[in-house]
Structure formats: C-alpha cells, structure tokens
C-alpha cells in the first residue's frame, strides 16, 4: 500500500499538486490512511486460539486494538471449534443491505452489457468544449484545435459522472443523456470511468471486500486514470506523460487497445466482487435480473 501512496503523501507534505494523481484521493474520498485500513473480507476471519493476547480478548469478548473493525459489525464467533474474529454478515446486511443490493445490481448489469469501445476518451474534451479549461495545464491543440476535434467527432458518453461535467455547448452533442437515476441502465464495461469506479464500489462495500482485492481495484483505477489523462486535451508532457493523440487514427487505435485491456481487468474484478457477494448473500443471485444487454 505504501508503494501506491508514498509519492502522494510526499507531495502533500510539500504542498504540491499533481494534475493526474490528486484525483485518486480527491474525487474518491479515500485518504492514504483510510486505504491502509485492512479487512480480511466477509469470507475470512482472524483466528485467536494460537495467539495469547487474542485468546484473552476473545474470552472476554473484547476487541484487541489492532484488529479490523467497522462500527459494531465485527464479533468473536466459534467456527468449527475455532475462535475467529470476523464480520457479522447479517448485522452488516441489516445496516447496509440497500446499498449492497444496488451495487450488486449495477455490477451485474455492467458485467453483462455489450461494451462500447468507440468513445475515444472524448468526454475530457467535451468538458472544455467552447468553455474555460478546468485545469491550469495548457491545451495540447489550443482552444480552436480542441473545439474542432469535438465538432468532427461523435460524442457517445454513457457515464453520468463524466457527462455531468460536459460544458453546456457539449451536452446536446452527446448521443446519450445519462442521469443518476438511469446510471444502472447506461453503465457498460468499455467505459473507462465505469472501470475506474470498480474501486468506488469496492470501497462502498467496505469490510465485505478483502484488502488485497480492494488494492487490486485501486491499482486498476490508477492505470485507468493515466490513460484517461493521456488521452485528454491537456498537454501533460511537463509531468512526464506522453499524449494519446485520439485526433489521429494511430492514437485512436492505441486508445482502444489500452481501453480493451483495462476493460478485461475490470471485468475480472467485477466477477471477483460479485462471486464474493453471492457467497455471502445467496439471496442476491435469486433476485430477478433485467435483460441488460443493450443500452436504452
């Protein structure tokens, strides 16, 4: 975990910004400290019997200071004669069941929906179209060149949390009009932001997700963020990033190739999360799932 957050912590200490990586700790409200909070996951626990300090805590039904915790949803229990500290899945469902069911439904729909691989990252361009840039970095093609790319392209963003930042002039150019309420109907696995948000959903699932899986989601989100910004209209060469020139055939081919690879990783992690949720809460799988193969 330290490997993933050390540079950010050093910059923060020096009061420095970063146009790419600050997003991972600002847009997603998870500080490096919170990212270090490890959970074994709902299917595992910590055995107390062979550790005297834990055995004493278990006997007294108390929590040792360094054990994972989430509100009052952890407890000691006997598993086949072994004393284990783990998540009380039923108590957690009673508190978070609505959120868990929503995330499960959204991930299932996204997993099975046909991917759209022809957006070429134009959402970042639509966020500055005929308006002021949102970041201080210069536009690689200048204002006129950036506007021209948008006007010669087909905007078909399906992700609400990207679409909501489109400029007023860009909104009517988009093929879709996603909203928060229709998010589950539009999310599709080819979308970079939907892939990045696997990390968000894993975060919201909290102690259900084992620490290693959460960090896998974070690493994927970082890799997605890099492509997202390399394909953006901003010139980030001063920060060590090479542009993916999506205004050219070669750049679009590179974008799709990397988009596909990130999508595959996202689909794998979605499957891991869904399998875990069903193992803990079989009733989720028994719920009727809508036909989600096509976008509205």
Give the number of other CB atoms < 10 A from CB of residue 145: 12
Mean pLDDT of 19-40: 89
**Threshold 0.85, pTM exceeds:** yes
Q: What is the pLDDT of residues 198-221, one digit of tens each?
A: 999 999 999 999 999 999 999 999
Determine the pLDDT at residue 55. Answer: 57
Query: How many Å separate Cα 172 from the centre of its chain?
Result: 27
Mean pLDDT of the chain: 90
List the one residue out of 108, 110, 105, 137 whose CA is nearest residue 124: 137
State the DSSP H helix or E strand holding residue 214, giving kind and residue range, or none if neither: helix 211-230
List the one residue out of 150, 189, 149, 201 whose CA is nearest residue 172: 150
In this prediction, residue 232 has a pLDDT band, given cuts at 50, 70 and 90, of: very high
Task: Give the contacts of 80 (CB within 8 A, at least 6 positions apart).
Answer: none
Q: Which residue has the higher pLDDT, 226 or 38?
A: 226
Mean pLDDT of 258-272: 99
List the one residue out of 125, 134, 202 whose CA is nearest residue 157: 125
- Percentage of the chain modeled with pLDDT above 70: 90
């Amino acid at each position: 975990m330290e490997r993933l957050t050390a540079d950010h912590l050093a910059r923060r200490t020096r009061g420095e910004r970063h146009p790419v990586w600050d997003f991972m700790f600002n847009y997603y409200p998870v500080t490096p400290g919170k990212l270090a909070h490890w959970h074994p996951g709902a299917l595992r626990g910590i055995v107390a019997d062979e550790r005297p300090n834990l055995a004493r805590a278990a006997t007294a039904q108390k929590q040792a200071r360094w054990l994972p915790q989430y509100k009052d949803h952890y407890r000691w229990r006997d598993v086949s004669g072994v004393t284990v500290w783990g998540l009380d899945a039923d108590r957690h469902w009673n508190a978070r069941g609505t959120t868990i069911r929503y995330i499960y439904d959204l991930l299932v729909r996204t997993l099975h929906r046909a991917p759209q691989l022809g957006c070429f990252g134009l959402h970042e361009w639509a966020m500055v179209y005929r308006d002021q840039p949102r970041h201080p970095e210069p536009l690689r093609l200048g204002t006129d060149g950036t506007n021209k790319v948008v006007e010669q392209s087909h905007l078909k963003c399906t992700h609400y949390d990207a679409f909501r930042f489109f400029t007023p002039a860009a909104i009517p150019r988009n093929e879709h009009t996603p909203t928060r309420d229709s998010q589950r109907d539009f999310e599709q696995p080819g979308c970079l932001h939907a892939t990045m948000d696997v990390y968000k959903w894993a975060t919201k699932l909290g102690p259900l997700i084992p620490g290693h899986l959460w960090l896998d989601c974070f690493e994927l989100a970082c890799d997605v963020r890099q492509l997202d910004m390399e394909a953006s209209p901003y010139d980030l060469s001063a920060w060590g990033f090479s542009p993916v020139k999506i205004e050219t055939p070669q750049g679009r081919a590179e974008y799709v190739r990397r988009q596909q690879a990130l999508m595959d990783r996202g689909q794998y992690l979605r499957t891991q999360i869904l399998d875990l949720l069903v193992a803990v809460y079989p009733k989720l799988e028994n719920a009727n799932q809508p036909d989600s193969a096509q976008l509205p």
